[in-house]
Chain A
């Protein structure tokens, strides 16, 4: 009898423990059990840079001439019809094209740079060239080139004319026009 009582007590304790366990789990409590993660995600940063190829070509001559001019004359066109800048197929970027010039000088006398003018189409919007460190179209800021975003294999036309100031001294004058092509969006220095 005593043994049967003990067995009944043990059975009751086991049943009670199991019922309590089931009740806890049904309430959403995880009694110390965890499941191993089946997957995880980790991120790593990757980076690469592509080299910049810029190849621009001037055609129309190494220089421009205006011939023999009288003082006090204006709108004297360069003898060469047009100077063309090509962003060649060897570039891997579009380019912004800036332009500047020196004064026209000989050893003694000067024709100021503002008398040398440039146009994109030989008809409208002639602009006076500027000295270094300035550039056309606007100072040294980005995305302000005389030509913007010239695509690979694209071209940019330049027409030039010269005004000769009144009473300009007789002499042979020379100067230099500089064309700077930068990666699209980069500022010229």
Chain B
């Protein structure tokens, strides 16, 4: 009887601590939403795009540290990212550590619309999740792209923002990171007034058929003349009949 009780307690404790350990097992989430991928700018013009980052606490339970770098910048184009890369000091399991990042995102639950704070806290955007479960609590980075003043109409530029997400804590032999690219395609618009000119008109089959059908008919100008002549005769006749003396 005592052995059965002890065994039961041991098994229960084992299951309890297993569940606790499982709940604390790291889940490394990297969520992003790229708002806009294309633009059309005049030479010298600037456009700012937004990228949002989030950690849904259902899928992530560690702070995600994100670094953003602009790569593949065409010659003469200018790209800036806000916030810029900077150093931060963090405490991991009580030990301080200096790291390099653009921004960090903490795990937060999805909110019902009614739970969104009013006023909204600074620096937090609320995105309607494609899961349909509610609103993601996200932080935002801004990418500002400037076209060279001497860019030619019809040119285009492809800019890549390379994002890397890192996590700190367990220090095994090989760490995991996640990477993601945010690509922008910008076309250079023409500053001049729009013009269009037909250089070589193309005659297609339907046009030929129309021309062949109309060539068998008198032109509409002569048709109008016939109408006027007939009308004139009728008017003169009626006028004579009404004005003649009996």
Contacts and interface: CB of A to CB of B under 8 A. Distances in A.
Interface in B1-57: 25-38, 54, 56
A180 to B, nearest CB: 4
B218 A178 contact: no
Question: Taking each of A13, A58, A83, A177, which has the highest tally of chain B beta carbons within 10 Å of its own beta carbon?
Answer: A58
Contact of A31 (B26, B180, B224): B224
Contacts of A62: 26, 28, 62, 167-170, 172, 175-176
B245 to A, nearest CB: 9
A51 B34 contact: yes
Interface string A89-117: 11110000000010010000000000010
Given A90-B56, A90-B130, A58 B217 contact: no
A89 B223 CA distance: 72
B130 A29 contact: no
Interface in B192-245: 217-218, 220, 223-224, 226-227, 229-230, 233-234, 236-237, 240-241, 244
26 contacts: A7-B241, A13-B233, A21-B227, A31-B227, A32-B226, A32-B227, A52-B33, A53-B33, A53-B127, A55-B54, A58-B27, A58-B176, A58-B178, A59-B26, A60-B25, A61-B26, A63-B171, A64-B172, A88-B58, A89-B131, A104-B174, A176-B175, A176-B176, A177-B177, A179-B177, A189-B181
Query: 6 smallest A-B Cβ distances: which pairs?
Result: A63-B172, A32-B224, A55-B31, A89-B131, A92-B130, A57-B59
